[in-house]
Amino acid sequence: MGMTITEKILTKHSGKRAVSPGDNIWVDVDILMTHDVCGPGTIDIFKKNFGNNARVWNREGTVIIPDHYIFTKDQHAGRNIEILRGFAKEQDLPYFYDVGTSRYRGVCHVALAQEGHTRPGEVLFGTDSHTCTAGAFGEFATGIGNTDAALIMGIGKLWVKVPPTIRYVFDGEVPPYIMAKDMILTIIGKIGVEGANYMTMEFAGDGVYALSMDERMTLCNMVIEAGAKNGVISPDKKTISYVVSHTKKSFEIVENDHDARFRDITYFKSNELVPMVAKPHSPDNTAPARDLNTTKLDRCYIGSCTGGKLDDFKAAARILKGNKVVTDTYIVPATVEVADSLKKERLDNMTLLEIFTNAGARIGDPSCAACLGGPVDTFGRLNNDEVCLSTTNRNFPGRMGSKGSQVYLASPYTVAASALTGKITDPRDFL
């Protein structure tokens, strides 16, 4: 019987000959990623269970990327970075991207790819729910808690319940005003926030393969918002070209068997997609942007692992170029590499950074920033009852700070267009 990509990767990492959805298996882990919010707790549990002198199972496989609470005066946040620093030194970890040094990178899910830690066919666990982003590279990647991460640190293994796969096929290239964010919001709006609970969401079709790696990452990034265990896209030439230009390590391409069994297959006609928005306070509370054109905004936010990659800013720049924002607009590049690119990438005769600055947007330093609220001095945090349109991933009550605020989620095109009008705006009005 044929297997899916996820089943084949888990089979190979469990030493079994085959696995089926529902099987509970122990798998060997290739990469464990943690950051400043969950790293200290993980380290504490690791030492409690394996001893104060314990060594991590694999130095090369333990990647620590502080990114959440970086540019804050909060003393406790600073203390957490110190704990990571001490641990990385003690364990002699080669992949610790320390704050305040040239090693600092920014948002972990984007940095993992840029540093070559995402590779087809591998198993990646991270102490962050958006670890599923890396499925864009044809690997099994999912989020876990501190306890599971501490167990991996000690033995390099974790138990996994094999998920069934649902396939989402986009027929035809998507129209130029549609971004991956619109595609995933369309799916989540259709299936609901637990529509893929415990499952793998696989994205396929020429509409998906035409997307850049940045855009594929956006698709996989938000599968957790439908409750999925992981998202995955079968590797193609684009995947391989990205990965070999970011790592020298070898990897193995894993594809679906021709007779792989899927729980379900849903087809979308790409040319029927419209710019979508998720209304407060749930990512499945969706509506077409055009239907919300009377919703007034106090703030626009472009950033995070979901919407702060280079392609997100290229899209925003197309709309903001030569215009002025009428809403407070915050721009937060996900990583240092993205921030540097804003200074180099040009649209016609201007850099993206010049376009944003001239438009009147505020530019922040690379980190998770206000996507998840954070300490009160976090750049872009909603501290009152603001109405915000954001390229981030969640709009739960209080997610971006104050419980009284309201967050709408949309693509960088839609957020940029709305920044120019002060109301939720369909980007087709500007493209």
| Strands, sheet with 362-363, edge to edge from the N-terminal-most edge strand | 286-288, 276-278, 406-409, 387-390, 299-303, 328-332, 362-363
Asked whether 302 and 331 are in contact (CB, 8 A), the reply is: yes
Strands (E), 11-58: 24-28, 31-34
How many residues touch another protein (CB under 8 A)? 56
Q: Does 248 bind another protein (CB under 8 A)?
A: no
Choices 116-124, 237-245, 357-365, 397-405; region in contact with another protein by CB under 8 A? 397-405
Choices 105-113, 144-152, 244-252, 298-306; region in contact with another protein by CB under 8 A? 144-152
Pick from 66, 138, 143, 205 the residue near another protein by CB under 8 A: 143
Minimum Å gap between C-beta 200 and another protein is: 11
| Angle, helices 39-50/75-91, rounded to nearest 10 degrees | 50
Q: Which two tokens stand for residue 153?
A: 């640190």
What's the rounded Cα separation, in Å, for the pair 107 and 346? 23
Minimum Å gap between C-beta 48 and another protein is: 8
What's the rounded Cα separation, in Å, for the pair 127 and 217? 18
Q: Does 373 bind another protein (CB under 8 A)?
A: yes
Of the two residues 27 and 208, which places its CB atom closer to another protein in the complex?
Answer: 27
Choices 221-229, 243-251, 257-265, 306-314; region in contact with another protein by CB under 8 A? 221-229
Q: Does 38 bind another protein (CB under 8 A)?
A: yes
Minimum Å gap between C-beta 285 and another protein is: 10
Minimum Å gap between C-beta 113 and another protein is: 19
Minimum Å gap between C-beta 395 and another protein is: 10
Cβ neighbour number for residue 371 with a 10 Å cutoff: 30
Choices 66-74, 102-110, 263-271, 357-365; region in contact with another protein by CB under 8 A? 66-74
What's the rounded Cα separation, in Å, for the pair 156 and 10? 14
Q: What share of the chain is helix, strand, coil (3-state, %, to 5)?
A: 35, 20, 45
- The closest of 234, 235, 262, 261 to 166, measured between CA atoms, is 262
Pick from 49, 212, 247, 357 the residue near another protein by CB under 8 A: 49
Pick from 76, 237, 248, 258 the residue near another protein by CB under 8 A: 76
Pick from 25, 28, 44, 431 the residue near another protein by CB under 8 A: 44
With b for 16 or more beta-carbon neighbours within 10 A and e for fewer, the 304-322 pattern comes to: bbbbbbbbbbbbbbbbbbe
Of the two residues 69 and 170, which places its CB atom closer to another protein in the complex?
Answer: 69
Q: Does 69 bind another protein (CB under 8 A)?
A: yes
What's the rounded Cα separation, in Å, for the pair 98 and 95? 9
Binding mask 9-28 for another protein (x = CB under 8 A): ---------------x-x--
Q: Does 51 bind another protein (CB under 8 A)?
A: yes
Tally of CA atoms within 13 A in the half-sphere of 61 that contains its CB: 20
Of the two residues 148 and 337, which places its CB atom closer to another protein in the complex?
Answer: 148
Of the two residues 213 and 224, which places its CB atom closer to another protein in the complex?
Answer: 224
Task: Write out the binding residues for another protein, residues 295-354 only, by CB under 8 A.
Answer: none
Q: Does 241 bind another protein (CB under 8 A)?
A: no
Q: Does 77 bind another protein (CB under 8 A)?
A: yes
Torsion of CA 68, 74, 79, 81, to 10 degrees: 30
Residue entry with tokens 């501490």: 150
3-state SS class at 304? helix
Choices 122-130, 264-272, 287-295, 308-316; region in contact with another protein by CB under 8 A? 122-130
What's the rounded Cα separation, in Å, for the pair 166 and 195? 10
Pick from 148, 202, 215, 311 the residue near another protein by CB under 8 A: 148
Q: What angle do CA 44, 48, 53 make, to 5 degrees?
A: 90
Asked whether 62 and 32 are in contact (CB, 8 A), the reply is: yes
Find all residues with CB under 8 Å of 242, minimum gap 6, and list them: 113, 137, 213
Of the two residues 202 and 311, which places its CB atom closer to another protein in the complex?
Answer: 202
Of the two residues 127 and 341, which places its CB atom closer to another protein in the complex?
Answer: 127
Q: Does 129 bind another protein (CB under 8 A)?
A: yes
Binding site for another protein (CB under 8 A): 24, 26, 37-38, 40-41, 44, 49-51, 68-69, 74, 76-77, 79-80, 126-129, 131, 142-148, 151, 154-155, 157, 159, 161, 193-194, 197-198, 224, 227-229, 282, 372-376, 394, 396-399, 401, 403
